[in-house]
Structure 1
Amino acid sequence: MSTDEKLFGPGRLRAFSPFLAPGERKQLHDLLNAGAALPPSFADELRALARRYIDDGDSIKLRAVCLLVADLCEQGWQVAIESDRITFQPPGIARKGEQTVDDIKVRVRAALQSARLRQLQEPSVRQFLIRVEKRSLRSGNRASVIDLIDDGAALAKDLRAIEGLPDVERDAALKGIIDPVVEVAEAGAKCPDTGLPLIDIWRYFRHTWAHEYRSIPGRQMLVLIRNAARPRRPIIGIAMLASPVMRLTARDQWIGWLRDAAEERVRSGVWDAAAFGASLLDRIDASIAAVRWDDLASSDEIVEPTETVALRLEQKAAGAAFAREQQLRAHYETHRDLGGQVKPHRGELKSAQPDSDWRAASDDLLFVRKRAESLAQLLFAKGMFRSAGLTRDPVAALDQLFTTPSGQRAVDVALAEFRKAGLSSEVADVSICGAVHPYNELLGGKLVALMLTSKEARDAYARRYGGQTSVIASQMAGRIISKPADLRILTTTSLYGVGSSQYNRLVLRAQDHSGLPHDVKWGAIGKSLTGGFGTLHLGGETAQALRSMAMARHDSRRVNNRFGEGTSPRLRQIREGLDALGLKSDSILHHATPRIFYGCELSPGARAALVGLGKPALDAPTSADIGAAWRHRWLSKRARREETLQALADLGPMSVRASLHADADGQFSLPI
């Protein structure tokens, strides 16, 4: 049993002892005991109590604990309070009485819906929904977002009308009913059919998802899949390509970015030892060249690194880290206002500009630390590779490197550099992907996932992000750095932890579809049986309370949503706040819900290319080719099912609007 299974497995009891004053502890104790039976209003009572406390002094702690308990109870965690501690028990993946995968999905979806329904009641969200639903004159069109929701009954009628056609004629007729195209929702771009901003259209349909809509940092390309065969090109589904997480074991193992995976492929002959050895050396040299080092080391030390220079660089990094901590404390004291809020410390350079002084920006204390840390690691790895004789005899050198602690560390450094390079421009996470009414009944979710592999989607990503100045890389290098954006890998994670019908058997074989240059395949690449770390189960109000708690504890704002400061600022802010409460943050952030990870290699050889071994094929299927293959593989059969056609009749504008205008109790109240 792994450490995670021992600590965080489903059903494991987790005990916390928050730092509360005696009076605060009694008040929380009374409320939690009163809510032991967990009535429907329990979480709301906790939130109401939390809002009565102002974020000052000890009250901020009770506020944060109340909001935290409310969120966890709403997500199905069991909670109780004893004299000196609070205990929580996560729900795990299955509960007593749940017989099928669908039972589990219904329960998990219901838990996620709680936060979503609260968000839909927010005045700003309701105003947005009403605004885009109102039929108005925009860019010469009197229309609303409702016009982009297809009529399921009309769609079913058209599908029935071609049911008796011969297969050859039916394929062409199906294209006349559903002809998918890719449209990217860029800032400022408007829909020619309705005049609405494309981003507003995407956001509207995003609110129909099971979980609340949150903005995320980093890259995010919003994608609409539309049906060009019908009036006003109704929406089939939506997707988002986002920045991938830095460390994901299943993905990194699948690609070969982890040492045990790399060793297995070298020893089994899947990877040529000489080629892999050369790629390690090239990667280290390229990474050193991408770091400004003139103020940290001499040219001789870069060519022939020693342990002494690595140690000196580590000391330099530690000094810069201490100085920045003092800098953040001073910023906190200077900018703290009466409300206790503190502006982020963004440094002198906040974004890439034509006249940006990247050399001066590299002298920022944050980047002095990062440059020194990175260079220390890289020079250590280079020294180890040289002493092992990786150039002279790669087979013997790799055997030595894989079997000694210092050699393993050097390989880890090089593989981490491959990972950083790949994640910066060649891998994207599919954070949103699915169909909307009525196309969800026609396996439109599979179509959306496949369309993300199309030439149109990949070209749009390259146009959007290729050649952009990288703020972090430029500050690390002390000069302007831009990178291409050639997508090679897509990954995603199951929401429910019990598989995904959308990605199940999602394969198009080139031999079966003449327009495809190669197979298009989504497949499971790994599982997390005990769940993982994340913040999906914690709401925005809770996150804000924990952020305030962290600042009060440290007398500084240490998470500033700044390029280069670290990944996932929301996760780091919440972690700091939980630690400040005296709670073991991992016990809360580990959601105990298993996850299944899926990946798609966009062209043959893409994974090997991400460790410097060869180049992948450049051909990509067009959206037209994918659409034709999807119609032949799935739609043709699905459209013959009477139960599907009957289900379509109940889906359309009214079903979408009903899902968006629910009150806090889940009852629907459509505006007139």
Structure 2
Amino acid sequence: MPSSLAARNLRYGAGPPARPQSVSGGWVSASKPTFEPTRSRAFSPFLAPSEHQRLQQVIDFTGTPAPGFADELRALARRFVDDGDSLKLRAICLLLADLFEQGWSVSTGNDGGFRFQPPGLARGAAETVEDIKVRVRLTMQAARSRQLAEPSVRAFLERTEKRRIRHGIKGAVIDLIDDGAALASELTKISDLPFEDQDAALAGLVDPVIEVCEAGRHCADTGLPLIDIWRYFRHTWAHEYRSIPGRQMLVLIRNAARPNRPIMGIAMLASPVMRLTARDQWIGWLPESAKQLYEQGCWTATAFAQALWNRLQASIDEIRWDDLASRAEIRSPSEAVVFRLEQRAAGAAAAREAELKVHFETERGLGDAVRPHRGKVRSVTTGADWLDASNDLLFVRKRAEGLAKLLFAKHVFQAAKLKRAPAQALKSLFESRDGKRALDTVLAEFRKAGLSSEVADVSICGAVHPYNELLSGKLVALLLASQEVRDAYAHRYGGQISIIASQMAGRPIVKSANLKLITTTSLYGVGSSQYNRLVLRAADHDGLHHDLRWGAIGKSLTGGFGTLHLGQETAQALRAMAFERHDARRVNNRFGEGTSPRLRQIREGLDALGIKSDSILHHATPRIFYGCELVAGARDALLGLDSGDGAAPSVAVIAKAWRKRWLTKRIRREETRMALARLGPVSVRASLHADPDGQFRLPIDPA
């Protein structure tokens, strides 16, 4: 054990009427919030006495941690890689190192346990919004710096920066970074023109186009794979680059008016979070917000009742029920039918647990690593037997559970006479316990349908040097609401067979990809200059048929759940802890099981350490949520109250409006042109090739 580390500690603290302007139906203010102090969270790791002793030899909790403390913890943890008995110690060291870097407070008690306290944003009234952003950014950049130092990442950066012939074209990624000095010179000339001539001149200098990155597609100007170009610029972001599960559509914004069509910004559309209270309230997917919108006159009783009934019937039709209930029971369900289905689901769940245990014991008896238990259908293939796949015990349980909830809702709706007397029925449903449960079930079906094909999350969005000085981050956010992006999304994901839905239905189910709404979350929790007041009004711009608006839709003052503050090495150690536990569920890694396997395994790894997983995964960093409707009436369409078939504005229309709204004003600022002149290939490369001491180390000459 390094003696220097043993002397240190972890006690630190460093259609219808317009929706009203309310939290559930309109836009909320993104002004600076007031946050409540966080509370510390205790845990005592499951360690044998000898392991406790070894941990105390590693860390002494009576002094002050020195710089590099986290790095020493990680170096120590790597010594335990080949020592099976030290797996828990290794995971604890890596976890403490991550939390230390992220500004969490950690202390110990006489019992050898730990107390954690996430930093949140409550560091005193004297801390400004900019102070908060700097502090949060610094904690994220620690992980980014480690990633940029990895040999594989260094090799990738230098390979893409080296100019060579690819697909018959000689070029490098730096050829796609515009020269800020040359750009500033051209903008200066345009700013000296008469005002009425500036718009046409700017259009000849800045002409944004969208390019979607797909496997096998290459840049026509450099020969580089488009995905590699996107990845290169993603490494310039404040936080480390991580792959995420689910849908991912990578987007490049390029300037077609400049040589080599340089990159202006990048973005990524990803699968939305399944449950996000702020978003769900804003849309009306929660009973309380739906009640508010209905009572405020946003929807008529007849239209809302019909939408609820149609969604209920569609959801029932998407479940195979012939082996679970009779046609008469589906048509007029009773409480007895619901109870029988709940019993069937419980029986299937018990049988599945037994099946997993048998699989686990069989695999362990073979002496090799225990392989995950897989279903009959792992991917969409020609001739897949969806009827047989629906008989898998996992999907028998899911079908019975889902059908029980839907038939309960139908029983309640029929008893309330929803179709014959909608106004009276809705009043009763909103007030009764069973009515609220039935409404919650059907609204959840709207949410599930919308999130599967009509809503996307913007996980990456911003400008790159030198275009960040021209407010191109706003342009990128607006262009994600263009018809071209909607068309690209439909082309990428439309017409695909859904594996889970097909196993639920016992027949192939094809989901649409009619993108209607996009959402995102503030990175720093104190507002976003990129999204605040980001509006293009139809009255001010030709070609816009409705206001194009990004706005704050809700706040989370207590933070949320995620793994952004845990490094890849820590996540791998926690997953190893999960598999080490002798539990049949450790071999369960099925698509359709529920929570993503990665997150579930991290939770189980924390549990295996004796840590309540929520105490770590709940990062306690407040967030502000933003949303943008791509077509008029998008939110109503997500509740079956509008067709949502309108078109979004084109890239050309949005670009023209952005130039008029922001760029013409920006180019008049001398300080903007001066900052622009300092940015370009050198500044981008410098940000990616800094040594740990902050000195820039550029790679070999790309020529």
TM normalised by structure 1 equals: 0.96
For residue 29 of structure 1, report the CA deviation from its aligned partner: 3.0
1:124 aligned to 2:123? no
Aligned twin of 1:512: 540
Aligned twin of 1:80: 107
Aligned twin of 1:63: 90
1:378-527 paired onto structure 2 within 5 Å: 378-527=406-555
For residue 346 of structure 1, report the CA deviation from its aligned partner: 2.9
**Would you say the 8 A contact 1:559–1:569 is kept in 2?**
no
For residue 339 of structure 1, report the CA deviation from its aligned partner: 11
Separation (CA, whole Å) in 2 of partners of 1:519 and 1:296: 48
The residue identity in structure 2 corresponding to 1:245 is: V
Separation (CA, whole Å) in 2 of partners of 1:251 and 1:442: 30
Gap runs ≥5 in structure 2: 1-34
The residue identity in structure 2 corresponding to 1:406 is: D
Query: Which of 344, 368, 376 is equivalent to 1:348?
Result: 376
Separation (CA, whole Å) in 1 of partners of 2:312 and 2:320: 14
Aligned twin of 1:595: 623
The residue identity in structure 2 corresponding to 1:198 is: L
Distance 1:451 1:287, change over 3 A: same
1:189 is paired with a residue of what secondary structure? Answer: coil
The residue identity in structure 1 corresponding to 2:552 is: A
Aligned twin of 1:43: 70
Aligned twin of 1:304: 332
Distance 1:386 1:423, change over 3 A: same
Aligned twin of 2:603: 575
Aligned twin of 2:288: 260
Query: Which of 23, 26, 45 is equivalent to 2:53?
Result: 26
Greater Cα shift, 69-78 or 608-617 = 608-617
Greater Cα shift, 434-443 or 661-670 = 661-670
Aligned twin of 2:663: 635
Greater Cα shift, 642-651 or 332-341 = 332-341
Aligned twin of 1:145: 173
Residues 181-217 of structure 1, C-alpha deviations (whole Å, 9 max, x = no match): 0100011111101111101111111111111111111
Separation (CA, whole Å) in 2 of partners of 1:318 and 1:231: 64
Sequence identity (%):
70
Separation (CA, whole Å) in 2 of partners of 1:525 and 1:618: 22
For residue 532 of structure 1, report the CA deviation from its aligned partner: 1.0
1:304-323 paired onto structure 2 within 5 Å: 304-323=332-351
1:524 is paired with a residue of what secondary structure? Answer: strand
The residue identity in structure 2 corresponding to 1:517 is: H
The residue identity in structure 1 corresponding to 2:354 is: Q
The residue identity in structure 2 corresponding to 1:277 is: A
Gap runs ≥5 in structure 1: 1-7
Separation (CA, whole Å) in 2 of partners of 1:504 and 1:215: 28
1:555-570 paired onto structure 2 within 5 Å: 555-558=583-586, 562-570=590-598
The residue identity in structure 1 corresponding to 2:65 is: L
For residue 11 of structure 1, report the CA deviation from its aligned partner: 3.4
Residues 24-48 of structure 1, C-alpha deviations (whole Å, 9 max, x = no match): 2233234332684222211112112
**Would you say the 8 A contact 1:32–1:80 is kept in 2?**
no
1:182 is paired with a residue of what secondary structure? Answer: strand
Distance 1:668 1:421, change over 3 A: same
Separation (CA, whole Å) in 2 of partners of 1:442 and 1:471: 44
Aligned twin of 1:4: none
Separation (CA, whole Å) in 2 of partners of 1:652 and 1:580: 49
Query: Which of 22, 37, 42 is equivalent to 1:10?
Result: 37
1:613 is paired with a residue of what secondary structure? Answer: coil
For residue 363 of structure 1, report the CA deviation from its aligned partner: 1.3
Greater Cα shift, 78-87 or 65-74 = 78-87
For residue 574 of structure 1, report the CA deviation from its aligned partner: 1.4
**Would you say the 8 A contact 1:328–1:558 is kept in 2?**
no
Greater Cα shift, 101-110 or 617-626 = 617-626
Aligned twin of 1:5: none
Distance 1:197 1:606, change over 3 A: same
TM normalised by structure 2 equals: 0.92
**Would you say the 8 A contact 1:10–1:593 is kept in 2?**
no
The residue identity in structure 1 corresponding to 2:206 is: I
The residue identity in structure 1 corresponding to 2:69 is: F
For residue 328 of structure 1, report the CA deviation from its aligned partner: 3.0
Separation (CA, whole Å) in 1 of partners of 2:465 and 2:356: 49
Separation (CA, whole Å) in 1 of partners of 2:367 and 2:180: 51
Distance 1:556 1:36, change over 3 A: farther
Alignment coverage as a number of residue pairs: 665
**Would you say the 8 A contact 2:689–2:697 is kept in 1?**
yes
1:351 is paired with a residue of what secondary structure? Answer: coil
1:511 is paired with a residue of what secondary structure? Answer: helix
Residues 614-658 of structure 1, C-alpha deviations (whole Å, 9 max, x = no match): 222512211011111001100111111111111112211111111
Greater Cα shift, 30-39 or 277-286 = 30-39
**Would you say the 8 A contact 1:29–1:81 is kept in 2?**
no
**Would you say the 8 A contact 2:632–2:646 is kept in 1?**
no
Separation (CA, whole Å) in 1 of partners of 2:340 and 2:596: 30
Cα RMSD, aligned residues only:
1.9
Aligned twin of 2:16: none
Query: Which of 369, 374, 381 is equivalent to 2:402?
Result: 374
Separation (CA, whole Å) in 1 of partners of 2:114 and 2:596: 28
Distance 1:333 1:648, change over 3 A: farther
The residue identity in structure 1 corresponding to 2:355 is: Q
For residue 345 of structure 1, report the CA deviation from its aligned partner: 2.8
Distance 1:122 1:97, change over 3 A: farther
The residue identity in structure 2 corresponding to 1:63 is: R
For residue 364 of structure 1, report the CA deviation from its aligned partner: 1.5
Aligned twin of 1:223: 251
Greater Cα shift, 544-553 or 628-637 = 544-553
**Would you say the 8 A contact 1:150–1:234 is kept in 2?**
yes
Separation (CA, whole Å) in 1 of partners of 2:202 and 2:457: 31
The residue identity in structure 1 corresponding to 2:577 is: M
1:109-188 paired onto structure 2 within 5 Å: 109-188=137-216
